[in-house]
Structure 1
Amino acid sequence: MRFTPPSGPPITFRARLHDARTATVIGRLLGLAVLVCFATGVLSHCLQHPPAWLADRLPSRPYWGYRLTQGLHVAAGTAAVPLLLAKLWAVYPRLFAWPPVRSVRHALERLSVAVLVAAGTFELFTGLLNTVQWYPWPFPFVPVHYAVAWLLLGAMLLHVAVQWPAIRGHFTRRSPGTLALPEADGPDRRQLLAAVAAGVGVVTLTTVGQSVTALGPLELFGPRSPAHGPQGLPVNRTAAAARVTGAALADWRLTVTGPRPYSLTLEELRALPQHEVALPLACLEGWSKSARWTGVRVRDLLERAGGGPGARCRVVSLEVAGAYRVTEMGRGYAQDPLSLLALRLNGEVLSLDHGYPARIIAPNRPGVLQTKWVGRLEVA
C-alpha cells in the first residue's frame, strides 16, 4: 500500500496482512467482546444506580448473577486489549490514505473510526486501571465510563453500517477490495490470527482467576487474588480509608426507623434469631469469592419497625464520607430471605475492615452496595 503526500516520494507500507479480510476477522472478535462488555456494563450500572421505576423490579436471584456478569465484563474487557491492538495494527496504513476525505461516505467512515478508536481506547484504559483501583484522572470513573460506553456503541454501529458492503463481501468470501492480498498470504493470516488468539487466551487465563475460583492457580497477573484478605476475604475499602475507628463504635447501637422505630445494642442484635447463608462478595473490579455469613434477616428488622411485605430499605453507614455511604435496597432485595444484616463472617465476628459491628450482605448485588459499618436502617 502506498501513501503519496502533497510533496515528496510515495511512502510504501511493506508489512503484509494489512488487508480488509484480516481486519474483518479480528474486528468480529473485537466487536463481540465490546458487545459483551456493553451489555454486562449496562446491567452493572443499573444494579448500582437504578432509576426509580426499576429499583423495585431488580431481581435478587440468581444469587450468583452479579458475580457472573461482572466477572464476564472484566474478562471480556481484558481480552479486548490484544484484540484492539491487533485490529489497529491491521488497519493503520489507512490512516495515511490520501486524500484524507474522498466523499461524504468516506468522511463518515473516518469520523466513526476516530470516535471508535478514541472511545474504545478510553474504555479499556480506564477499565483496566479501575481493576487496580487507580484513578489518575479528575473525573468520577463510574458515570464517565458508562457515558463513553454509549458513545462507543454508537460509533461501532455507525462504523459497521458504513463498512457493511465490505463486511458482507468477506462473510461471503467475495473479493476483499483494494487492500486484498494474494491467496498465498492465507497461511500467514492463519498464523497471525493464531498468535492473536494465543495472546487473548494467555491474557484471559492469567487474570480471570480473580473471578473463577477454579482457575485461581493460573492467576499470575490478576490485580486481586480472592485467596488473600482478612478472614479469608479481600477488602477493597478499609476502615481507615472510611475513617471508622474502634473507639467510635464503643457505644454503637443499630437504629431502625419506620412506623414503629427502635434501636438495638450489639448484644440485643445477637440475641435475635440468627441465619447463615453462603453468598459471594462480587466487586466492580471483577474479583469475587463466596463466604459464609451469619446475621439477622433484613426483612425481619423491617417488619419489626412496621414495614409491610412490600417495604423497601435505606441503609446508612457510619463511614464519614463516600459515594456509597447511603444505599437503597429495593423490595426484591429487602424482602429476600438471603439478605442479612451480617454479624459474622466464616464463623468469626466481623473484623473492623469487613464492617464490624454489622454489614449488609444480599444476593445478586454489587460489592459497593454491601454496606459496611451499618448504623441505621430506614423503612421506605
Structure 2
Amino acid sequence: MRPTLPPRPPVTFKARLHDARTATAIGRWLGLAVVVCFATGVLSHYLQHPPGWLADWLPSRPYWGYRVTQGLHVASGIAAIPLLLAKLWTVYPRLFTWPPVRSPLHALERLSVFVLVAAALFQLFTGLLNIFQWYPWPFSFVPVHYAVAWLLFGSLLLHLAVQWPRIRDHFTRRSPGTLALPEADDPDRRRLLLGVTAAVGAVTLTTVGQSVTALGPLELFSPRSPDHGPQGLPVNRTAAAAGVTGASLAGWRLVVAGPRPCALTLDELRALPQYEVTLPIACVEGWSKSAHWTGVRVRDILERAGGGPDSRARVVSLEKAGAYRVMEMGRLYAQDPLTLLALRLNGEVLSLDHGYPARIIAPNRPGVLQTKWVGRLEVA
C-alpha cells in the first residue's frame, strides 16, 4: 500500500496589500484603460477594413478625429501595462490557494481568469511591439490582434460579473470579509497606489508626445518623433521598402478609370486648380503630425472621369506589394473637399519617400490609407 501523504501546508505570504480592496482600486483604473483601448481599437480596425455596407458611411469629419482616437488607443494601451503588472502583483497569491479547484463553478472561474490574464498580456505586449514595428511572430498581427481584443473584452465582462459583489463593496465603502484590513495598512496602500499612479504618469508622459504636440518636449521613449523626417514629417514605409525608384517613375502618368477615362501627366495635374489644406498624418502606431498639403481635389478628378456626386474611389499604388497597395475610399471621403491627390508637402514637391509624384491625403483617416505613389485612380 502507498503511504498516505500528509496534507499540504498552506502557502503564506508576508507581504501585505494582496487583498481585494487594493486589487479593486487598481482594477478599476485598469478596466477603464482596457475599455478605452478596446473601443478606439475597434474603431481603428473598421476605419482600416470597413465592410462594404459601412464604407460609404464612415465620416470624414472631424478631420482630426483619427489623430485623437488612435492617440488614445496607444496611450491607454501603454498606460495599462504598469496597471496590469500592479494588478497581477496584488492577486498572485491566489494562484497558490489549496486546493486549486474546489468545485466545477470554481474551476470555470479560474479558467476565465486565466483567459483574461493571457489575453491582456498578449494584447498589451504585442501592441507595444507593434508601435516599434517589430513582429517576432509567424502570424499576421492585425487580424489576430483584433480577434484577441474581443476575447479580452468578453473575459473582462465575465470577470466583472463574477467579482461584482467585491467591487460593489469597495465602491460603497463596506468592509466585510476580505475587504477589511487593519487601519495601519492604509498608509502602505496609499503609497502603493501613488507609486502605481507615478509609473502610469511617467510612461504616458514620456510617450504621448508622439501624438500630442504640446507634450513633444517630454517625448523620450516613443519609437517615432513627429518632428524628425524628410520635409518635416516622419516616414513609416520608404520608397526603397516599397520597391519604388526614380527610374520606375519615368514617363509616369496618372491613369484615371471611369465613364470618361483619361491619363494625366504631372504637368497636366499641376495645371488643374490647386487647393491647399492642413491635415494630419495619423499612423496606427500612435504618432501623428499636421502638415500643409497642396494638390488636386479627388472629387474633381472623379468628376472629370465621369463620376457623379456619390462616387467612391479606388486607388492603386505603384508599390510592388503590400497589404494596402489597393485602397478603397468611400463616398464621404472621396467627395470631401479636403481630400486631395497631393503633389506638394509643406510648400515643396513631394519627396520620393513621401509618395512622389502624387499621394492621397484625406481627413480623419489612418495613415496606412493615405496611399503613396498613386498610379491609378478609379471611379467606383
Amino acid at match of 2:372: K
1:130-160: per-residue Cα shift (whole Å, max 9, x none)? 1110011111111110100000000000101
The aligned residue for residue 360 of structure 1 is 360
| 1:11 partner SS | coil
Q: Distance in 2 between matches of 1:152 and 1:351?
A: 42
The aligned residue for residue 69 of structure 2 is 69
The aligned residue for residue 178 of structure 1 is 178
C-alpha distance 7-361 of structure 1, shift in aligned 2 (>3 A): same
Amino acid at match of 1:228: H
The aligned residue for residue 297 of structure 1 is 297
1:31-63: per-residue Cα shift (whole Å, max 9, x none)? 000000000001000100001110000000000
Q: Distance in 1 between matches of 2:143 and 2:358?
A: 29
TM-fit CA distance, 1:109: 1.9
TM-fit CA distance, 1:25: 0.6
Q: Distance in 2 between matches of 1:338 and 1:144?
A: 33
Alignment root-mean-square deviation, CA: 1.1
| 2:293 partner SS | strand
Amino acid at match of 2:74: V
| 2:338 partner SS | coil
Which has the larger displacement, 30-39 or 170-179?
Answer: 170-179
Q: Distance in 2 between matches of 1:216 and 1:23?
A: 33
Alignment of 1:1-380 (within 5 A): 9-178=9-178, 180-380=180-380
| 1:144 partner SS | helix
Amino acid at match of 1:89: W
TM-fit CA distance, 1:180: 4.0
Q: Distance in 1 between matches of 2:379 and 2:221?
A: 44
Amino acid at match of 1:81: I
1:61-93: per-residue Cα shift (whole Å, max 9, x none)? 000000000000000000000000000000000
Normalization by structure 2: what TM-score?
A: 0.97
Q: Distance in 2 between matches of 1:129 and 1:107?
A: 33
Q: Distance in 1 between matches of 2:177 and 2:130?
A: 40
Q: Distance in 2 between matches of 1:347 and 1:84?
A: 46
Q: Distance in 1 between matches of 2:352 and 2:138?
A: 30
TM-fit CA distance, 1:369: 0.1
Q: Distance in 1 between matches of 2:6 and 2:341?
A: 70
Q: Answer yes or no: is the 8 Å Cα contact 1:18–1:179 preserved in 2.
A: no
TM-fit CA distance, 1:167: 1.2
1:240-263: per-residue Cα shift (whole Å, max 9, x none)? 000001000011000000000000
Segments of structure 1 that go 5 or more residues without pairing to the other structure are none
Q: Distance in 2 between matches of 1:136 and 1:78?
A: 19
Q: Distance in 1 between matches of 2:179 and 2:148?
A: 31
Q: Answer yes or no: is the 8 Å Cα contact 1:282–1:365 preserved in 2.
A: yes
| 2:86 partner SS | helix
Amino acid at match of 1:35: V
Normalization by structure 1: what TM-score?
A: 0.97
Q: Answer yes or no: is the 8 Å Cα contact 1:254–1:375 preserved in 2.
A: yes
TM-fit CA distance, 1:111: 1.3
Q: Distance in 1 between matches of 2:6 and 2:27?
A: 31
Which has the larger displacement, 97-106 or 329-338?
Answer: 97-106
Q: Answer yes or no: is the 8 Å Cα contact 2:340–2:362 preserved in 1.
A: yes
Q: Distance in 2 between matches of 1:207 and 1:374?
A: 32
C-alpha distance 228-176 of structure 1, shift in aligned 2 (>3 A): farther
TM-fit CA distance, 1:178: 3.3
Segments of structure 2 that go 5 or more residues without pairing to the other structure are none
1:88-135: per-residue Cα shift (whole Å, max 9, x none)? 000000011111111333223211110010000000011100111001
Identity of aligned residues (%): 84
Q: Answer yes or no: is the 8 Å Cα contact 2:239–2:353 preserved in 1.
A: yes
TM-fit CA distance, 1:174: 1.6
Q: Answer yes or no: is the 8 Å Cα contact 1:66–1:282 preserved in 2.
A: yes
1:147-190: per-residue Cα shift (whole Å, max 9, x none)? 00000000000101111111111111222533642122111101
C-alpha distance 6-375 of structure 1, shift in aligned 2 (>3 A): farther
Q: Distance in 2 between matches of 1:347 and 1:7?
A: 78
Q: Distance in 2 between matches of 1:6 and 1:360?
A: 73
TM-fit CA distance, 1:6: 7.0
TM-fit CA distance, 1:10: 3.6
| 2:62 partner SS | coil
Amino acid at match of 2:298: V
Amino acid at match of 2:314: R
| 1:57 partner SS | coil
